[in-house]
Amino acid sequence: MANPVVQAVNVTKTYNRGKPNEVTAVKHASLKIDEGSLVVLKGPSGSGKTTLLSLIGCQTKPTRGEVIIRGKKVSKLPEKFMNQHKRRHIGFIFQHFQLIAGMSVLDNIVLPLIPEGVSPKARNKRADRLLEQFNLAHRRQFKISSLSGGEQQRVAIARALINNAGILLADEPTAHLDSKLTSDLLDYIEQLKQSGHTILITSHDPVIYQNPAVDRVLEMKDGQITS
């Protein structure tokens, strides 16, 4: 019997509350994602996909409702503990990667391990395994700014995996990729699913949401999950 590892319960997010530019980006959204499943969140631009992913990814707190990750109500935790839970359980791939351009590939990948107090030796060992896996070993000491788009994307995936987090969230991961890189990314995602990761991806891209490896497609419209 599958367990929900990610749950959103009646979650609402309002930006700029009480101001003239107030926007309710997510309205009463509820979802459950089972361990080991691959779920895609699709919907038109502005429908609230990134906001919902950020709520599940503990990047921001809901205005109302609960986000529950591995049984813990993270939305109720003080910031420090929410961040700790996030680092242990969630890997996040941002649409624009959010890598640090002036730092090396290695230093970017090990970054999430520093607040966890992992020793430099252990950090490098884990990073080297991922560098090998994502065919980046020859770029280990290169600055991010000198890499191609596809290489940067692989670094972003490696950084999201360095904590051995079982939950991977990716926001429009193919938005800037050509068809070869999109197909490579799908291969990585399928491998991660096979190794037991639970994955939630936002995407407009039919190549993603029509992929046979996808277990469920959720649709958003005007801040609500409609299917």
Ligand X SMILES: Nc1ncnc2c1ncn2[C@@H]1O[C@H](COP(=O)(O)OP(=O)(O)OP(=O)(O)O)[C@@H](O)[C@H]1O
Binding site for ligand X (CB under 6 A): 15-16, 23, 25, 43, 45-51
Answer for the pair 41, 73: CB distance below 8 angstroms, yes or no.
no
Q: Which is nearer to ligand X, 25 or 40 (CB)?
A: 25
Q: Which is nearer to ligand X, 34 or 222 (CB)?
A: 222
For residue 41, the minimal CB distance to ligand X (Å) is 9
Query: In residues, how long is the chain?
Result: 227
Contact partner, 153, from ligand X, Mg ion, none, Cβ < 5-8 Å per class:
none
Contact partner, 7, from ligand X, Mg ion, none, Cβ < 5-8 Å per class:
none
Contact partner, 166, from ligand X, Mg ion, none, Cβ < 5-8 Å per class:
none
For residue 46, the minimal CB distance to Mg ion (Å) is 8
Answer for the pair 91, 165: CB distance below 8 angstroms, yes or no.
yes
**How, if at all, do strands 23-34 and 4-15 pair?**
antiparallel
Among 50, 54, 163, 198, binds Mg ion (CB under 5 A): 50
Q: What is the DSSP string of 2-19?
A: --EEEEEEEEEEEESTTS
Q: 172 Cβ partners below 8 Å, 6+ apart? A: 50, 95, 202, 203, 204, 205
Q: Which is nearer to Mg ion, 13 or 49 (CB)?
A: 49
**Which of these, 146, 170, 177, lies nearest to 156 by C-alpha position?**
170
**Which of these, 189, 180, 191, 181, lies nearest to 209 by C-alpha position?**
189
Asked if 51 is part of the footprint of Mg ion (rule: CB under 5 A), the reply reads: no
Q: Which region, left, alpha or beta, applies to residue 218 given φ > 0 means left and ψ of -120 to 50 means alpha?
A: beta
For residue 104, the minimal CB distance to ligand X (Å) is 30
For residue 21, the minimal CB distance to Mg ion (Å) is 18
For residue 67, the minimal CB distance to ligand X (Å) is 15
Closest-approach residue to Mg ion (CB): 50
Q: In what order do the strands lie in the sheet with 198-202?
A: 90-93, 167-171, 198-202, 38-42, 216-221, 224-225
Q: Which is nearer to ligand X, 23 or 177 (CB)?
A: 23
For residue 97, the minimal CB distance to ligand X (Å) is 15
Contact partner, 15, from ligand X, Mg ion, none, Cβ < 5-8 Å per class:
ligand X
Interaction site with Mg ion (CB under 5 A)? 49-50
